Amino acid sequence: MTAILQVKDLKVHFQTDDGLVKAVDGVSFEIEAGKTLGIVGESGSGKSVTSLAIMGLHKGSRAAVSGEILIDGVDVNQATEAEVNKLRGKSMAMIFQDSLAALHPFFKVGDQIAEAYQVHNKVSKKAAQQVAVEMLGRVGIPNPTQRMEDFPHQFSGGMRQRVMIAMSLSCNPKLLIADEPTTALDVTVQAQILDLLRDLQREFGSSILMITHDLGVVAEIADDVLLMYAGKAIERGTVRELLKTPEHPYAWGLLTSIPKLTGATDSELLAIPGTPPSLITLPSGCSFSPRCSYKNRSKVDCESAMPELAGVKSNSSHLVSCHLSETDRVAIFKSEIAPKL
């Protein structure tokens, strides 16, 4: 399999009045053609900052970006604005959480989609409009020819997110980055949008980078998962590995702290104590250690260093960054976590 996108040791740091914010600090991953990678984390974990870095959207801001972001043989981080502009929309496209804010309020949606097509295709405005109509129909918007003339605020949240999807797929990009695309939507509409993304992925063959905080969404749509905490990747694996046999105590905490729709209910939730750390003064060593209920079981001092993201057993695809020994993790998972899942 060939990787569509390779990210190597990505760092995004912001200089602020209070100090250096290490929003993303050394993250590496790749996405294969036609596959979906879910990046999961809570607010401040660095998942959205990562996605903006891939699109090169930190250019011109105060962010210091380092590392390699390879797509179509170009390193986004080294490339000029003009070179990145050739990739944006064509090789990689992005949809956002808040579709009302993400669409221009003063332009008709048809024109906004046509514009996205015209940037990369030398066609007449009329031909681009025709593409826009087709795309609107393809994403399931009824009466696309009439709705072309409408403005973003005239659509419901779900229909507007469809418009965003139509726009982002108009140039048939290899990679679609979806930053919490369903978080603002109702659950039945979310289901429609996730179905649509799956269908379109099959049809267009694009890879998807799904940024989300919702493990349910990941389970629905992702092939692989990258779990982020405080700017670092702390676990990586297939969706089954991460959700069925997670290795990191933070992943355990997430899975046991969410209420479930099925099964028994009366038990108290196993909440992760404390709050995520400040990205300016990160705890020494493992950044999750202050909230970790299992650090006293570790034979290594968890505050000594950030553990490497290393393979579980011989299995190279499932990686975890934890000081607990593998046997300890297996034992804890079996006795304390698995019964709660």
Partner 1 sequence: MTPLLKVTDLTKHFPSKNNKIFGKREFVHAVDNVSFELNVGETLGLVGESGCGKSTTGRLITKLIPTTSGSIEFEGREISKMKASEFKELRPQIQMIFQDPYASLNPRHTVGTIIATPLKIHGINPGVDVKKQVQELLEIVGLNPEHYNRYPHEFSGGQRQRIGIARALALKPKLIIADEPVSALDVSIQAQILNLLQSLQSDFNLSFIFIAHDLAVVKHFAQRVAVMYAGNIVEVSDHVSLYASPKHPYTKALMSAVPSADPDASGARERIRLSGDIPNPIDPPTGCRFRSRCWKAQDICATKPPLLQIGKSMVACHFPEN
Partner 2 sequence: MLAYLVRRLIGGATVMVLVSIFVFGLFFVLPADPARLACGKSCTPELMAEIRHTLELDIPLPAQYFRFVKGIVSGRTYLAGSEAQLDCAAPCLGYSYQTDELVTNLLKDRAPATLSIAFGASILWLLIGLSSGIVSALRRATWIDKFSQGAALAGASLQIYFVGLVLQFFLVDKLGWLSSPGYVSPNDYPMEWAQGMILPWLTLGFLLSAIYARLTRAGMIEVMSEDYIRTARAKGLTSRSVNFKHVMRAAITPIITVFGLDLGQLLGGAVITEYVFNIPGLGKLATEAVSNVDLPVIVGTVLVAAVFIVMANIVVDLVYMILDPKVRLA
Q: Provide the binding-site residues for partner 1, judged by CB under 8 A.
A: 42-43, 156-159, 186-192, 194-195, 213-220, 239-240, 243-244, 253-255, 257-262, 265, 268-273, 275-276, 291, 341
* Nearer to partner 1 among residue 186 and residue 308 (C-beta): 186
Instruction: Cite the DSSP H helix spans in the chain.
Output: 47-54, 81-87, 99-102, 109-120, 125-138, 144-147, 157-169, 187-204, 215-221, 239-244, 249-257, 326-332
Bridge partners (DSSP) of residue 31 are: 5
Minimum CB distance to partner 2, residue 52 (Å): 8
* Nearer to partner 2 among residue 173 and residue 246 (C-beta): 173
Minimum CB distance to partner 1, residue 45 (Å): 9
* Nearer to partner 1 among residue 38 and residue 56 (C-beta): 38
Query: C-alpha 240: how far from its chain's center?
Result: 17
Out of partner 1, partner 2, none, what residue 272 binds, judged by CB under 5 to 8 A for its kind, is partner 1
Minimum CB distance to partner 2, residue 108 (Å): 8
* Nearer to partner 2 among residue 85 and residue 284 (C-beta): 85
- Which string of DSSP letters, residue by residue, matches 299-311? SS-TTTSPPP-EE
- 3-state DSSP helix/strand/coil percent for the chain, to nearest 5? 35, 25, 40
Q: CA-to-CA distance for 330 and 31, rounded, in angstroms?
A: 28
Helices (H) and strands (E) in the chain, counts: 12, 12
Helix (H) or strand (E) holding 59: none
Among 6, 28, 85, 238, binds partner 2 (CB under 8 A): 85
What residue type is assigned to position 136 of the chain? Answer: L
Q: Name residues contacting partner 2, limited to 124-183 (CB under 8 A).
A: 151, 153-154, 167
228 binds partner 2 (CB under 8 A): no
Can you give the binding site for partner 2, defined by CB under 8 A? 52, 55, 57, 81-82, 85-90, 93-94, 96, 98, 101-107, 115-116, 119-120, 151, 153-154, 167
